[in-house]
Amino acid sequence: MVIVGTGTWIVTLDMNNLSYSVGKPILYMAGDANGWATNDYLAGEDGVKFTGYMYLNQNGFKFCTQPEWKGTNYGADFNTAPDAANITITEPAGYYQVDVDLSEKTYTLTPITSIGIIGSASPNGWESDVDMTYVPYNKDTKEVNGYWEVKNITLSAGEIKFRANDDWAISWGGELDNLTTKNGGNITVEAGTYNIKLYAWAEGFAKCVMKKTK
């Protein structure tokens, strides 16, 4: 087994078929906003600090170390007792960058009021964003995690990036199937009309689906 890069890694062994998988530490969020399913997550490098992007409301949630409540679950004040109260926020329901520090038992929320497309291929060039629309998790259909979307956008041959709040403090670039907020490169696109979905999620999981319609 060869692991590329230093840091904290999670190694999972499956003795039934003698296989293993290696990944970075993940913290899940389950709450009212996503139907209490562990399908929103935060990623980290050291197993202590985590960052993710998700929709939250004021009806409660918990952070979990494993899917389906199988690990340690953090409630209010990061209490891990089975009957711990849910974490509740006073901030308005919305989309946030969520930063968690398990050693300090704290979390911070950075509001993301918009995500847009910008770049030489975009109709507005590098001057301003073409805003996307947030499509939340559907509790009835249980559609995969919420995403940001723009339909029938006409792009010229060139480059694009995604960014939050019409600013470069939070932006996504790199490969379409593995976007990064860590100074990712510009994304090269062909000319055409597209439907675009951005799944911001967390570092190592963020991706963009571009479907050409014309």
Q: pLDDT band at 140, cuts 50/70/90? A: confident
pLDDT digits (tens, 9 = 90+) for 162-189: 999 999 999 999 999 999 999 999 999 9
Q: Could you give the CA distance from residue 63 to residue 28 in angstroms, rounded to a whole number?
A: 5
What is the predicted pLDDT for the residue at 214?
A: 86
pLDDT digits (tens, 9 = 90+) for 104-138: 999 999 999 999 999 999 999 999 999 999 998 87
Return the closest-CA partner of residue 126 out of 166, 93, 97, 74. 166
What is the predicted pLDDT for the residue at 9?
A: 39
Boundaries of CATH 2.60.40.3620 in the chain?
10-111
What is the predicted pLDDT for the residue at 144?
A: 63
Say yes or no: domain 10-111 is CATH 2.30.30.60. no
Residue 88 has pLDDT above 60, yes or no: yes
Please state the rounded mean pLDDT for residues 68-95. 97
What is the predicted pLDDT for the residue at 1?
A: 41
Domain 115-212 class in CATH: mainly beta
Residue 5 has pLDDT above 70, yes or no: no
Exposed / middle / buried, residue 64 (Cβ in 10 Å: 0-12, 13-18, 19+): buried
Q: What mean pLDDT value characterizes the chain?
A: 90
Q: pLDDT band at 16, cuts 50/70/90? A: low
